[in-house]
Structure 1
């Protein structure tokens, strides 16, 4: 798992790399500028593109000055530089790169008046005004400049972060530059993964600038970015002489008279994710649909006496998809929580838990909750922003010794040990009904196969999104049924790449 660091820790990584490699800081800045330009060239290959590079007077501005010089060296003839000298402070490396730039023929304009930028005909703006150290909203000339850049409606590519963006912490009332692309140095900023970042950037790419990876890995951080190599290490290939009993028996308490589709999706996902056996505990009205759609899946009618002994045959139990919130299902949830066994809890079962804080307190350690935004806030109270929401999820996971999978484009997997794993897979094509039901089935199947709750959650969320990413290469939209069928192919592809 890649260690994700705060902005302050990344500055420490810069300093360590400079000391360890015995290089001046301006040389590291030059390396960063070259890495930025390599990404920029792929993004904007047309060399006749007119470019305006706006530079502040700190190190982010120094990066911008070096980038402008290197862009001209790459053959971009229509490159001009604007100096946003709104602060008396000028970093040493900024001054060195300003001196280097003045030795070229690049046009340099001092922004004594912010409006001067409006005279530029540039179609691409490189934002190198303020870097990642900001922790308060923009004011004065910086705010006026950011407002103008946004009004110009040009393609904006930001250096490391958009001006006005906080690398971490609450992103409330953002008033900075909106970038179409951010080219970040070495690793993404934590706040790139939070939904509020949509007001500051559309997408980001990472440029490796050669910081010491050993130093980064040794730093204390609860934030982890899941990578495919981690998933390949966690996945256990099937062995010779194994059989259905080897891969466990998953039980899904799901479905109602009008919501059997959710139960079928969860069951299909469990089946395709490798559970040796899958059983759905469902109302009798769903038996025909289950037998017709998934003949491999067994049924346990909810009309029979569900004694404790009935549940002993299952290695994993999930409850919630399409269950309904009727009184009998509330009693069913209370009964399975009373088993004192780890559960996967989703959808209607989460809504029932929100009403029954008494049984929420009785969850067995190792249980996995999979709420989306509204379900989470019903459970743990209203939150004004995602930073505080994730903080609460982490606190609850630690206190209750459970795993909370807080679903979003970048899902946060909060573990009992305090680690927060950010999942990078998934895409907007997956924004359709039933996707959460599929995830529940995947998690139940992984638990049945013997994965720990933490590993099952990290694995399940990654596989769910990766299957969607593979399908999205050929489809604008993806259904939950299509995703379920893709799961075994995705698992196979990841195992084969290891």
Structure 2
């Protein structure tokens, strides 16, 4: 797994690499610029495009100057450079790259105020003004400049991070370059993985610039990025003589008369991801639908709850479509009183616990909560920013010894050890009803098979997103039912050969 860094930690990794490789900082800048240009050429190979590059006088501007020189060397015929002299100071590496660029046949325009810049028509605009070192909101001439550049035509590419955006933490304001593509170095910035980045980054790509990976992995950051290569190591191949009784019995408690679809989706997802046995506790009105849709699942009658053999279940998933009336609350209390293994708690079950906070004390350790943003706030109080939610989730997961799966484009998994994993898989095409119900069933099914809770959650979250990602290559929207049908094939694809 890749550890994610703050801006300060990235700067330390730069310094460590320079000292210990060893390599001059200007050579590291050259390496970064070459990596940027390589990806640039892959995406925008037309050498006749009109390119404008806006540079500050710090190291981000130095990157911009090096990128300009390399693009010229690659045969791009129209590259015009604008250097903002709003700040008097310049870095040594900026000055070195300026000297190198001045040897080329290109146009360099210096300006001190935003008014000095007229509206520019271009095909591509590269933002290399301020980069990752920003620690305060932009104001005065910087603010005017960003507002003006955002009105320019052309496809906008940011170098490392859009000017005005901090790498982590709250945004200062909306004075940020709106990029079509951000090409960032070594790791995605934490803010790229949150919805707050959406107005300013349509797409981002990471390029490796050769920072010392051993040093990066040794940092104290609680944030990690996990991907296909990680979860592939988790999946267990089915063994000879293995049978359904060895792969766990899962109980899904879900659905109401008017929300039976949620119960069917979560039950089928549990079956399709490999639970040995799946029982569904649903209203009797849904029995015919269950038999038709998920014949592999067994019906469990909630009216016989008092005689239920709780010990036969490895895990319970509860909440999708359950409703939050008195009967549902009574059912939830009974489950919490009698079941001591980890549970997967979603949707209405989360909402009921949010309204009855004392129930949190009864939740078994290592249980998994799977809220979306609004459910999270109902459970832990209103938050006015994503960073405050992250802070709360890190604390609450440790305090209550639970896992929190905060669903998003890059779903976050918070652990009882105080770690936050960002999931790399998924697609906007998955934004449709029932996706959360499917995830609940998949997590429940993975836990039933004997994976550790942490691995089960990571495997479920990644495979759920990966299935949607694969289907999105052929489908405009990915319905939950289509994703579920694809799960056995996705898990087989992920299994290391």
**TM-score, normalised relative to structure 1:** 0.98
The answer to whether the 8 A contact 1:224-1:420 is kept is yes
Q: CA deviation at 1:171?
A: 2.1
The answer to whether the 8 A contact 1:284-1:303 is kept is no
CA distance in 2 between partners of 1:332 and 1:257 (Å): 16
Question: 2:127 aligns to what?
Answer: 127
The answer to whether the 8 A contact 2:123-2:153 is kept is no
The answer to whether the 8 A contact 2:121-2:153 is kept is no
- Secondary structure, counterpart of 1:137 in structure 2: coil
Question: 2:181 aligns to what?
Answer: 181
Kindly tell me the number of residue pairs found equivalent between the two proteins: 496
CA distance in 1 between partners of 2:134 and 2:172 (Å): 13
Question: 1:195 aligns to what?
Answer: 195
Q: CA deviation at 1:305?
A: 3.4
1:211-250 correspondence runs (5 A): 211-250=211-250
Q: CA deviation at 1:480?
A: 0.4
1:333 aligns with 2:332: yes
Cα deviation code 1:40-71 (max 9, x no counterpart): 11121111010000000000000000000000
CA distance in 2 between partners of 1:488 and 1:118 (Å): 57
Q: CA deviation at 1:306?
A: 3.4
The answer to whether the 8 A contact 1:137-1:174 is kept is no
The answer to whether the 8 A contact 1:283-1:303 is kept is no
Question: 2:398 aligns to what?
Answer: 398
Q: CA deviation at 1:14?
A: 1.0
CA distance in 1 between partners of 2:305 and 2:477 (Å): 42
Question: 1:313 aligns to what?
Answer: 312
The answer to whether the 8 A contact 1:438-1:484 is kept is yes
Q: CA deviation at 1:117?
A: 3.4
Q: CA deviation at 1:116?
A: 4.1
CA distance in 2 between partners of 1:306 and 1:152 (Å): 68
Question: 1:382 aligns to what?
Answer: 382
The answer to whether the 8 A contact 2:439-2:461 is kept is yes
- Secondary structure, counterpart of 2:132 in structure 1: coil
- Secondary structure, counterpart of 1:251 in structure 2: strand
The answer to whether the 8 A contact 1:172-1:385 is kept is no
CA distance in 2 between partners of 1:377 and 1:291 (Å): 36
1:59-78 correspondence runs (5 A): 59-78=59-78
Question: Kindly tell me: are residues 360 and 347 of structure 1, through their superposed partners in 2, closer, same or farther at Cα, counting changes over 3 Å?
Answer: same
1:57-456 correspondence runs (5 A): 57-307=57-307, 309-339=308-338, 340-456=340-456
Unmatched 5+ stretches in structure 2: none
CA distance in 2 between partners of 1:470 and 1:492 (Å): 14
Cα deviation code 1:106-140 (max 9, x no counterpart): 10001234244334332211000001111221101
- Secondary structure, counterpart of 1:338 in structure 2: helix
- Secondary structure, counterpart of 1:432 in structure 2: coil
The answer to whether the 8 A contact 1:54-1:126 is kept is yes
CA distance in 1 between partners of 2:281 and 2:32 (Å): 57
- Secondary structure, counterpart of 1:9 in structure 2: helix
The answer to whether the 8 A contact 1:174-1:199 is kept is no
CA distance in 1 between partners of 2:327 and 2:192 (Å): 43
- Secondary structure, counterpart of 2:371 in structure 1: coil
- Secondary structure, counterpart of 1:421 in structure 2: strand
CA distance in 1 between partners of 2:371 and 2:112 (Å): 51
The answer to whether the 8 A contact 1:118-1:152 is kept is no
- Secondary structure, counterpart of 1:306 in structure 2: helix
The answer to whether the 8 A contact 1:447-1:453 is kept is yes
- Secondary structure, counterpart of 1:97 in structure 2: helix
CA distance in 1 between partners of 2:20 and 2:311 (Å): 57
- Secondary structure, counterpart of 2:413 in structure 1: strand
CA distance in 2 between partners of 1:398 and 1:462 (Å): 23
CA distance in 1 between partners of 2:384 and 2:128 (Å): 30
- Secondary structure, counterpart of 1:158 in structure 2: strand
Question: 1:18 aligns to what?
Answer: 18
The answer to whether the 8 A contact 1:415-1:454 is kept is yes
CA distance in 1 between partners of 2:24 and 2:347 (Å): 55
CA distance in 1 between partners of 2:17 and 2:121 (Å): 39
CA distance in 1 between partners of 2:272 and 2:45 (Å): 42
Unmatched 5+ stretches in structure 1: none
Question: 1:485 aligns to what?
Answer: 485
- Secondary structure, counterpart of 1:304 in structure 2: helix
**TM-score, normalised relative to structure 2:** 0.98
Question: Kindly tell me: are residues 168 and 46 of structure 1, through their superposed partners in 2, closer, same or farther at Cα, counting changes over 3 Å?
Answer: same
CA distance in 2 between partners of 1:239 and 1:392 (Å): 41
Deviation larger for 487-496 or 362-371 = 487-496
- Secondary structure, counterpart of 2:404 in structure 1: strand
Q: CA deviation at 1:310?
A: 2.1
- Secondary structure, counterpart of 2:125 in structure 1: strand
The answer to whether the 8 A contact 1:52-1:126 is kept is yes
Question: 1:495 aligns to what?
Answer: 495
RMSD: 1.1
CA distance in 2 between partners of 1:401 and 1:286 (Å): 35
Question: 1:472 aligns to what?
Answer: 472
Question: 1:8 aligns to what?
Answer: 8
CA distance in 2 between partners of 1:174 and 1:136 (Å): 12
Q: CA deviation at 1:227?
A: 1.6
Q: CA deviation at 1:28?
A: 0.6
